[in-house]
Amino acid sequence: GQQVMQIPQYQHVQEGEDFTTYCNSSTTLSNIQWYKQRPGGHPVFLIQLVKSGEVKKQKRLTFQFGEAKKNSSLHITATQTTDVGTYFCAGRYETSGSRLTFGEGTQLTVNP
């Protein structure tokens, strides 16, 4: 079936270190979205990537969509304690209409 695999499941960093989470799909995605969920909270939409090789930046966050549209990454430069939470990717496939398939998420903890 259509699955989006996300790694790592957990990441612990010291404040100021960089962080990256990766998403992979075995089949081509139409687009991919990224969400952040703070502990005890709900997912919040960050961004959508659509084009092959697309790179978007939001302050210290850099999002990439692979050339083959099968993988994506989120990179955070110089993490801060406010970055703590779980980051999810969610992919849409051509055959799935409007449905999103979420990855399992990467839980980020930042030690001050």
Partner 1 sequence: NAGVTQTPKFQVLKTGQSMTLQCAQDMNHEYMSWYRQDPGMGLRLIHYSVGAGITDQGEVPNGYNVSRSTTEDFPLRLLSAAPSQTSVYFCASRPGGRGYGYTFGSGTRLTVV
Please give the angle made by the CA atoms of 103, 101 and 27, to the nearest 5 degrees.
Answer: 90
Distance CA 91, CA 4 (A): 7
Contact 86, 36 (CB under 8 A): yes
Of the two residues 33 and 79, which places its CB atom closer to partner 1 in the complex? 33
CB of 85 to partner 1, least distance (A): 13
Q: How far apart are the first and last CA of the chain?
A: 41
CB of 92 to partner 1, least distance (A): 10
CB of 9 to partner 1, least distance (A): 7
Tell me which H or E stretch contains 30: none
The token pair at 67 is 């050339």
Query: Where along the sequence are the contacts to partner 1 (CB under 8 A)?
Result: 6, 9, 31, 33, 35, 41-48, 50, 88, 90, 97-105
Distance CA 20, CA 1 (A): 26
CB of 105 to partner 1, least distance (A): 5
Of the two residues 60 and 102, which places its CB atom closer to partner 1 in the complex? 102
Of the two residues 17 and 24, which places its CB atom closer to partner 1 in the complex? 24
Of the two residues 84 and 102, which places its CB atom closer to partner 1 in the complex? 102
